[in-house]
Amino acid sequence: MLKEENTATHQQIKVNRAFTRQSVHYDEDDKKNLILADMRRQVREHVESFLKPDDRILELNAGTGLDAVYFAGKGHRVHATDLSDGMIEVIKRKVNDLQLYSRLTYQQCSYDQLDELNLGRFDYLFSNFGGLNCIRDLDMVTCHFPSILKKNGYATIVVMPRVSLWELLSVFKGNTRAFRRFNKNGTISHLEGEYFITYYHTLSTIIKAFGPDFQLVKVEGLSALIPPPHKAAFPQQRPGLYRFLKKLDKKVRGHFPFNRWADHIITTFQFVPQ
Ligand SMILES: C[S@@+](CC[C@H](N)C(=O)[O-])C[C@H]1O[C@@H](n2cnc3c(N)ncnc32)[C@H](O)[C@@H]1O
């Protein structure tokens, strides 16, 4: 167990339960979704543009370790962390099945308690696909970064911002939750029978949370023009349009407003302490 239930927050207990249930079919869902596969490819390419051979990576909210296994397979050493009992169990199984012992280690840890790791400094910090949308104050996570990241190291976080063009446009299809991301107090998410709060982070709140010792070096929209992953059937239903949107997306995702208004945004910071 991560910690006694009386010390975990109410939110974390619910998040743990929801993702533990989801861990059972997470990889299967991921494999079937072509949009998600394209998004994951984009995130990996983004990270690989900064990674150096043999870099030691700390992954936060690693889920079932899909990216951790990928980066370990590329020769990096990865320490994968997550809050959820179920997700950590899946990572453990993969490490054993794939014999990744020397490249991939894992630990159950909430990202607001990274001071408990005691593993020295990493070359790279990485958080993918909205794990950090489960916390209201990003500072509670980023406050640990200066003591666990090497000087000139990088941190990439992938989070859901407040504005998603696809979600806003869904108002014309009668989506009553099209403006949910604008609620500063977050919105209630329902996952696997649990209700918890999702908080959306703007680029400016992210920059503020990192603080002056971190320099923003790259920001890209993820699914700015291509549909979000819950539109999983879109690539099969409209293959021509999907290909066209993908091409266009690639051209614009590094530029305003598409690097801020998207389903997720990928932000990378370099640690350059003053
Ligand atoms: C949408 S999944 C993303 C998983 C993985 N990064 C991926 O790309 O597949 C979100 C993950 O965030 C984790 N998470 C949520 N709150 C967390 C916290 N406080 N500390 C660590 N992990 C957390 C969940 O357990 C879940 O595995």
> Residue 29: inside a domain, yes or no?
yes
Q: What is the pLDDT of residue 4?
A: 41
Mutate to test the pocket of ligand 1, among 22, 61, 90, 189 (most ligand atoms within 8 A of CB): 61
| Residue 69 Cβ contacting ligand 1 at under 6 Å | no
Residue 53 lies in a domain: yes
Q: Is residue 5 part of a domain?
A: no
Domain assignment of residue 48, yes or no? yes
Tell me the H-state helices in 50-173. 66-73, 85-97, 139-142, 145-148, 165-169
Q: Is residue 2 part of a domain?
A: no
Give the CATH number, domain containing residue 259.
3.40.50.150
Residue 210 lies in a domain: yes
Work out whether strand 264-271 and strand 214-222 pair parallel, antiparallel, or are unpaired. antiparallel
pLDDT, averaged in runs of 10, over the chain (274 residues): 57 97 97 97 98 96 98 97 98 98 97 96 98 97 98 98 90 84 91 96 97 98 95 96 97 97 97 95
> What angle is formed at CA 244 by the lines to CA 238 and CA 248, rounded to 5 degrees?
140
Residue labelled with tokens 């990202």 = 111
pLDDT in tens, 27-85: 999 999 999 999 999 999 999 999 999 899 999 999 999 999 999 999 999 999 999 99
Model pTM? 0.95
Task: Domain of residue 188: give its range.
Answer: 10-271
Residue 1 lies in a domain: no
Q: Is the CB of 128 under 6 A from ligand 1?
A: yes
Q: How many domains does the chain have?
A: 1
In a domain, 205, yes or no: yes
